[in-house]
A and B are shown apart, each in its own frame.
Chain A
Amino acid sequence: MYKYDDYDHAIVQARVAQFRGQTERYLAGALSDDEFRPLRLQNGLYIQRHGPMLRLAVPYGLLSAAQLRRFADIARRYDRGYGHFTTRHNLQLNWVKLPEVPAILAELAQEELHAIQTSGNCIRNVTTDHFAGVAADEIADPRPWAEILRQWSTFNPEFAYLPRKFKVAISGATEDRAAIQVHDLGLQVAKNEAGEFGFKVYAGGGLGRTPLLGQVVREFLPWQHLLSYTEALVRVFNRYGRRDNAYKARIKILVKALGREEFARQVEEEWAHLQDGPSTLTQAEVDRVSRQFAAPAYETLAEDDLCHLAHLREDKAFARWVERNVQKHKVAGYAAVTLSLKKPGAAPGDASAEQMEAAADLAERYSFGEIRVSHEQNLILADVPQRELYTVWHRAKAAGLASPTVGLIQDLITCPGGDFCGLANARSLPIAAAIQERFEDLDYQHDIGEFELNISGCMNSCGHHHLGAIGILGVDKNGEEWYQVTLGGRQGNAARIGEVIGRSFAAAEVPDVIERLIAAYLAHRHADERFIDTLDRIGEEPFRNAAYPHPHQSRRVANG
C-alpha cells in the first residue's frame, strides 16, 4: 500500500498544527460557531446528539494492520471502545471530546492517518472496489489512481469551498463494486479501441433528496489527463453550481439543469485550456505510485487445497461461511475473506476495539498485513491462502466477525440514524436490529438468497436506501418516526434507483412489512431469480398488495 514520504508526512503534520490552532481559537472565543463550522467539518468533526462525532478517513478503504490497531487504540482511549465503519470506507467515533481532537489527530498522523476532507463542501474521500487488485474481472488496479486523486484533491486550494460536497468513486473492474453511478464523479477504468488505457467518466450521480444516476460525460479520457479533466469538471461545478439552496447544490442538479451534453460541452471547453498543462500526469508518477500497490509475494499454490476441500465437506457451518464470506481470488490457491460487521445485536458497521485488533492480527498472520473496508460496511482480508481459511474462520468466529451472511438480508447497510446523528429524522439501528432478529434463521436467510436491504435515517441517504432491493427511509411526521419503503433499487453496472411503494409505516410495522414483501417474492420467484428479477418480471402490484393487505391503506406518494 501507499507509504508516505517526507512530503506527505509534512503536509499531514501541518494539518494537525493548523487544526490545533483553529480549535484553540474557537475555544478561546476568537472564532465564532459559524466561522469554525466549515473548518471543523473539513476535518471530519460534526457536533452531534451526544457531542462531537469525528469521521476518520480510510482513503479508498485500505488500511494496514498497524493503522487498524491505531484506530482501536484511539477508540479505546478517547471514545467508548468502538467505532462505526461507514458506506464510504471511513470510521466514525461518536463520543470524542472537542478539546482532545487535536491530540487524536496527532496520534493518527504518526500512523499516516487523518480526518482530512471527510466532511464539508469539498472533495471527499475517494472510494473504490474493496476487491481492488485481487478481483478476477479487473481491467486495472484502481488504487494507484485513487491515490493520485487523493493527493490532487487534498487541500486543493481552488476547491475548498465548493457549493456542496463532492464525492468521487473509481472502479477498475468490469463489474462495478464501487457504486460509481451514484457519485458526483464516477470513473470507470477502460481501454479504447487502440488498446490505450483511460477512464469512462460519469458525472452528476447521487442519492439524497433527488436521487439520480450519473451520466456519461466522456466515453474515454486518456489516463494522462485524469487530473486536468477533473480540475475542469470541478471548476465548472464550483463556478456554476447552485449556492442558494443546499438541497440543490450538488453537481447532479447542475448536470440535470444543463443537460448532459451542455454540461459535458462546458467541461470540454474548460479543459481545452488546462489540457497538457502542468497537471498532466507523467508515466514516472504513475509508476511511482503503482509500485506501492504491487502484488504481495504470493506463494505458488494449487488451485484447490485438499485440506480445505475436506473441511468444506465435513463442516457444514464452515461451508456455509465459505459460500457467503469467501470470494474467488485471481491468484490460484488464494481467497478474499469478508469479516462481517453485521452480527445481530450490534449496530451494522460497528466494530469494537477488540474486533479491530482481532482483524489486524488476522491480516498480519494471513493476509500480508492489509485490510480493506467495504462500502457494505464490512472488513475484507483480500489475500488469504485457501489452506488457512479454516483457521481464519475459527478465529474470526471467536472475535464475532464471522456471521455467515455476506450478501444476505442480515448483511444490511445502515447509517447510524437518530441514535447518533444530528441530521436524522428517525432511528435506523432499532429497525435494523428488528429486521435482523426477524430473519435470524440461517436456513431462511440462505433460502431468500442474495438480498440488499438498506436503511437511511433521513433523506441524506447515507444508508443508500435508494439502492436496496428493499430500501427503508426514516421520515418525520409531526415529531414521530415513520418509515417509507422503496423497492427495486440496485447497485453495480445496472444501477437503478428504487421507487417508493406507498404510505410510510410505523416502526413496529416494519419487520412485518419486510417479511410480507419477502413472502411475496418467495411465492412468485422462479428458480435463481433475485428479488429484483422477480419484481421486474411481475411488477410492483403483488408487492404493494403484500405490503398493504388492506387496500385503503395504500396511497401513492411522490417522493413523499
Chain B
Amino acid sequence: MAKKQIIKERRLQDDAWKVVTLVDGEAPFDVCLPVGPLLVPVSVWKAKKACLIHREYEHGTPLGIWLAPEDDVAEIAADLDDFTVIAVYFPKFTDGRGYSTARLLRERHGYDGELRAFGDIGRDQVFFLNRVGFDAFVIGEGKSAEDALAAFDDFPESYQGNAVQPLPLFRRRAA
C-alpha cells in the first residue's frame, strides 16, 4: 500500500497521523485507540481527555483533534495547547463551514500549530483554504495531490486580509 501523503510547506510529504472515527452507536469512551499519532473527534477528546494526555506525556505520542463542520471551536478553545495538529473535516467541498472554523482558530483563539484540511478537497479549494489559515492538506481520494501543489499561486493578490497576508489590500495600496 502506498504511504499516505499530505501537502505541507507546499510539497508532498509522508503522513503518519490516523483519524479516529466512531462507528454507529459506539460510545466515545469505548473507542479503541490505535498506536501512533491520532486525530480524535471532539466527543472522544472530551470523554478520554486524561487517557489521551497520559498517552502523550508518558509515551511521547503526539495528539491531535479533528473537527466536523458543525463543531464549535469555542468548545475546545481552552485546550488548544494540548494539540500538535488540528484537522478540519470537509464531508463535501461545498460545505464551507470549515473556512470559518479555520479563521476562528487562527485569529480569535491564536492557534499556531498545524491546521490541516481533509475530506473532499482538491486543487480548486487549496488556495482559499490556505488563505483562511490551513497549512496542511490531505487531498481527497481520486484527486491529484500533485495538481493541487500548483494551486498556491492561483491568485497573485487578495483583496482581503488573510492568514498569508494579514493586511487587506486597501491598507497596502499606494494612495
Q: Residues on A close to B: CB < 8 A?
A: 5, 7, 10-11, 14-15, 18, 22, 30-31, 35, 38-39, 121, 148, 151-152, 154-162, 227, 235, 238-239, 243, 273, 278-279, 281-282, 284-285, 287-288
Interface of B is mostly: loop
- Nearest-CB distance from B157 to chain A (Å)? 5
Nearest A residue (CB) for B143: A35
**Chain B residue nearest to A148 in the complex (CB):** B170
Contact residues in B for A235 (Cβ distance below 8 Å) = 100, 103
Which of B18-26, B37-45, B53-61, B121-129 is the contact stretch? B121-129
User: How far does the alpha carbon of A285 sit from the alpha carbon of B94 in the complex, in Å?
Assistant: 33
Cβ contact within 8 Å between A121 and B132: no
B108 within 8 A of partner (CB): yes
Q: Is the CB of A158 within 8 A of B132?
A: yes
Closest 6 CB pairs of A and B: A161-B96, A157-B128, A157-B131, A285-B170, A151-B159, A278-B161
**Within the assembled complex, what's the spacing in Å between the Cα atoms of A39 and B159?**
20
Check A273/B108 contact, CB under 8 A, given A14-B154, A154-B159, A160-B128: yes
**Residues of B close to A285: CB separation below 8 A:** 170-171, 173
Q: What bracket does the count of chain B residues touching chain A fall in? A: 35 or more
**Which B residues are CB-close (under 8 A) to A14?**
154-156
Which chain B residues border A155 with CB–CB below 8 Å? 128, 155, 158-160
Contacts of A157 in B (CB 8 A): 99, 127-129, 131-132, 158, 160, 162
Q: Which residues of A contact B144 (CB under 8 A)?
A: 30
| Binary per-residue interface labels of chain B (83-120) against chain A in the complex, 1 for a CB within 8 Å, 0 otherwise | 00000000001111101100100001000000000000
The reply to whether A35 and B108 form a contact with Cβ atoms under 8 Å apart is: no
What residue in chain A is nearest B140 (Cβ atoms)?
A35
Among the listed A30, A160, A278, which residue makes an inter-chain contact with B168, where contact means beta carbons less than 8 Å apart? A278
Q: CB < 8 Å: which of B129, B155, B169, B170 contacts A282?
A: B170
**Does B16 have its Cβ within 8 Å of any Cβ on chain A?**
no
Q: Closest A-chain residue to B122, C-beta based?
A: A35
- Given contacts A157-B162, A278-B167, is CB(A162)–CB(B96) below 8 Å? yes
Interface residues of B in 128-162 (CB under 8 A from A): 128-129, 131-132, 144, 147, 154-162
Which chain A positions have C-beta within 8 A of B103?
Answer: 158, 235
B1 within 8 A of A: no
- When A160-B96, A161-B96, A284-B175 are in contact, do A39 and B168 touch as well, CB less than 8 Å? no
Q: Given A235-B100, A278-B166, does the pair A7, B157 have CB atoms closer than 8 Å?
A: yes
In the bound complex, do residue B157 and residue A158 qualify as a contact, i.e. CB atoms below 8 Å apart?
no
Q: How far is the CA of A14 from the CA of B153 in the complex (A)?
A: 9
**What residue of chain B has the Cβ atom nearest to residue A150's Cβ?**
B159
Asked if residues B99 and A238 are in contact (CB atoms below 8 Å), the reply is yes
Contact A11 B159 (CB under 8 A): yes
| Residues on B with beta carbons closer than 8 Å to the beta carbon of A159 | 96, 99
Q: How far is the CA of A278 from the CA of B159 in the complex (A)?
A: 12
- Residues on B with C-beta less than 8 A from A161 are 93-96, 99
Instruction: Tell me what chain A mostly uses at the interface: helix, strand, loop, or mixed.
Output: helix
Q: How far is the CB of A544 from chain B (nearest CB, A)?
A: 44
* A238 and B100 contact, CB distance less than 8 A: yes
Across the interface, name the chain A residue whose C-beta is closest to B142: A32
- Return chain B residues, CB-CB under 8 Å to A18: 154-155
How many Å lie between the Cα of A159 and that of B132 in the bound state? 10
- Docked CA distance A31–B161 (Å): 30
**A154 to B160, alpha carbons, bound, how many Å?**
9
Choose among B100, B129, B158, B167 the residue with the greatest number of A CB atoms under 10 Å from its CB. Answer: B100
Question: Chain B residues with Cβ under 8 A from A227's Cβ?
Answer: 168
Bound-state CA distance A152–B171 (Å) is: 12
Selected A-B contacts with CB under 8 Å, 28 pairs: A7-B157, A10-B157, A11-B157, A11-B159, A14-B154, A14-B155, A15-B155, A18-B154, A30-B147, A31-B124, A35-B93, A35-B124, A39-B124, A121-B94, A157-B128, A157-B129, A157-B162, A159-B99, A160-B99, A161-B96, A235-B103, A238-B96, A238-B99, A239-B97, A239-B100, A278-B161, A278-B171, A285-B171
- Shortest beta-carbon distance, A281 to chain B, in Å? 8
Q: With A and B bound together, what is the CA distance between A7 and B103 in angstroms?
A: 24
Chain A residues with Cβ below 8 Å from B166 are 278
B158 touches A279 (CB 8 A): no
CA distance A278 to B170 in the complex (A): 10
User: How many angstroms from the CA of A148 to the CA of B168 in the assembled complex?
Assistant: 12
Cβ contact within 8 Å between B160 and A152: yes
Within 8 Å CB of A39, what residues of B? Answer: 124
- List the A residue with the shortest CB-CB distance to B108: A273
The residues of A that contact B173 with a CB separation of less than 8 Å are 5, 7, 285, 288
Query: Who on chain B is nearest to A273 by CB?
Result: B108
Question: Which residue of B129, B154, B159 has the most chain A CB atoms within 10 A of its CB atom?
Answer: B159
Note all chain B residues with C-beta closer than 8 A to A31: 124
User: Which residues of chain B are near A30, meaning CB under 8 Å?
Assistant: 144, 147
B124 touches A22 (CB 8 A): yes
- Complex: chain A residue closest to B150, CB-CB: A21
- Of A7, A243, A279, A284, the contact of B95 (CB 8 Å cutoff): A243
Known: A35-B93, A154-B159. 10 other contacts (CB 8 A): A7-B157, A11-B156, A157-B129, A159-B99, A227-B168, A238-B97, A238-B99, A239-B97, A282-B170, A287-B175
